Amino acid sequence: MFNGIIKNTGKIISIKKKHNNCTFSIFSKMKFSRNEIGSSISCSGACLTLVGFSKSVSKYYLSNETINRTNFKNSRKKDLINLEKSIKYGARISGHFVQGHVDTTCIVNKINIIGKSWFIHISLLKKHRRFVVEKGSIAINGVSLTISNIFKKEFQIVVIPQTLKYTNLISLKKKDVVNVEFDMFGKYINNSLK
């Protein structure tokens, strides 16, 4: 479980695919200890298992399911990845509960910069409309954000300078693909009401 408050990013330095297996190596300033091997790390919103590390490089395993559901299928060396360790029991939760279970990917339709804030419009399929609520929570590339507006075929988020400074959202441009995790409670409630 994560809270979507990103304080670390890293760069992909290698992608190894063999048969139906894939591993990513990421260079970052995030520090790990031996007892964290096997733990969950949010990598741009996807909960991945830390399988090893050496100095400033950490290594993660990706299943076919993860690759098929996320924007990792298009990843290349030097891509910037948001990183977050799982929250500790009793820690402050500044964002919202983020599981790291990416629901879908969406396309950035447009970005308007007003002052120092970015107003990002992201595509929304009809089947996902029931999971978005104005002023509700959503995770984009693992970043906890608030939905500021909902339109017929898209929703809008507003990203403030502090968030841009610490995340890979600063490198977004029109037509980019982002990982999306809808609010966990909204999904459970929606499923219960069916």
Q: Going along the chain, which residue ranges are E strands?
A: 8-18, 21-28, 40-43, 46-54, 57-62, 80-85, 104-114, 117-123, 137-140, 143-150, 154-159, 177-182
Indicate yes or no: pTM above 0.85: yes
Residue 107's pLDDT is: 98
pLDDT at residue 13 in the model: 97
% of the chain surpassing 90 pLDDT: 80
Residue pair 103/181 in contact (Cβ under 8 Å)? The answer is yes
Q: For residue 125, count CB atoms less than 10 angstroms from its CB and return exposed for 0-12, middle for 13-18, buried for 19 or more.
A: exposed
Maximal CA-CA distance, the chain: 49
What is the spatial distance between Cα 46 and Cα 161, in angstroms, rounded to a whole number? 23
Query: Can you tell me the distance from the alpha carbon of 111 to that of 120, in angstroms, rounded to the nearest whole number?
Result: 5
Of the candidates 77, 26, 71, the residue with the CA atom closest to the CA atom of residue 53: 26
Q: Which two tokens stand for residue 90?
A: 């009793």
For residues 99 and 42, what is the distance between their CA atoms, to the nearest angstrom? 9
pLDDT at 132: 94
Residues linked to residue 180 through DSSP beta bridges, in sequence order? 104, 140
Classify 5 as helix, strand or coil: coil
Question: Tens digits of per-residue pLDDT, 136-176?
Answer: 999 999 999 999 999 999 999 999 999 999 999 999 999 99
Contact 179, 67 (CB under 8 A): no
User: Which tokens hold the place of 6?
Assistant: 């990103």
Check residue 194 and give its pLDDT.
67
**What are the residue ranges in the chain where pLDDT is below 70?**
194
Predicted pLDDT of residue 189? 84
Which residue segments constitute the domains of the chain, with CATH numbers given?
8-85 (2.40.30.20), 104-193 (2.40.30.20)
> What token pair was written down for 76?
């290349």
